[in-house]
Amino acid sequence: MELRPFRALRGAPAFKERRPGLWIDRQVWQVEDETVVVPLLIGLVRLSPESIVLEGDAALPEAISERVGALVTAKADAEPCLLVARAPLAATFVSMRRPDFSVTGPSGHRHDLVRINDYAQHVELQGLVKNVEAVLSTGRELWEAARQFAVSPAAEKLPGARFKLCAIVDEAFATQDGIETPRGILGYSFADPVY
C-alpha cells in the first residue's frame, strides 16, 4: 500500500493547511466502565488494484455513479474509507502531545486528532505500510467510486485523484466494535499537490 500525506480542511470557516500532512485519530470511547482508545492513521492511499483486498459484496452501480458525480462536482474527497492493515502501527501512534483539535463523532466517541508534523515520521509510517496486506473494512462504495473517478477525463489534471483518503487501523485494534471514520472532520481537495 502506498501512503501519502494530504492537505486537511477543518472547521468553519475552513482552515487549510500550508502543506500536506498525516494525522492520528485517537478514538476514545466508553465500554461499560472501561475507557478504550483506538488509534487510526489518516492519509492518502494509492488506488492501485493490487494494493487493497476488497471483501464482501460489490457496491451498487447507481450508488457508485452518484458518488463519482459528487467527486467531479466538488473536486474534493472528505469521506475516508476504513482499512485494516497488518502493520505494527500502534507503537508509532503513542503521543503525549495535546491534540490539535477534538470533536465528538456521530456515535458519541471522542476523536482526538493529532497532526504528524515530522517528515521523518511520515517516511517511517510510509515504510511500515508499504508492503503490508490491507483489507477494506468499510467504504467499498467510496473506494470503487474513487477508482472510477481516477480514470475519468475530469481527473486528468488533478494529481490527488490517484489516491483515496483512508483511515488505517492496526489489525490488533480492528476487533473493537464502534470504530468510525472521522467524516466531516477532515476534507481533502484534489486540486492540492500531493508529494
H helices of 24-160, in order, are: 61-74, 119-129, 140-150
According to the model, what pLDDT value does residue 195 have?
A: 46
Closest of 155, 159, 154 to residue 195, by C-alpha: 159
Dist. CA 195–CA 185, nearest whole Å: 22
According to the model, what pLDDT value does residue 87 have?
A: 81
According to the model, what pLDDT value does residue 64 have?
A: 92
| 186 and 103 Cβ atoms separated by less than 8 Å | no
Closest of 190, 172, 184, 132 to residue 40, by C-alpha: 172
Dist. CA 148–CA 141, nearest whole Å: 11
Enumerate the domain spans of the chain: 3-173+184-188
| 25 and 167 Cβ atoms separated by less than 8 Å | yes
Whether cis (ω within 30° of 0) applies to the bond prior to 182 is: no
| 7 and 42 Cβ atoms separated by less than 8 Å | no
Closest of 133, 145, 180, 183 to residue 47, by C-alpha: 145
According to the model, what pLDDT value does residue 12 have?
A: 46
Cell numbers that stand for 58 in this block: 460489490
Residue with cell 483515496: 164
pLDDT tens-place values along the chain, 195 residues long: 888 888 776 654 556 677 778 888 888 887 788 888 888 899 999 998 777 888 878 888 998 999 999 888 877 788 889 999 888 777 666 666 788 888 887 778 888 888 887 888 888 888 888 888 899 988 899 999 999 999 988 888 887 888 999 999 888 887 766 777 776 666 666 665 554
| Residue 120, phi-psi category: left (phi > 0), alpha (psi -120 to 50), beta (remainder) | alpha
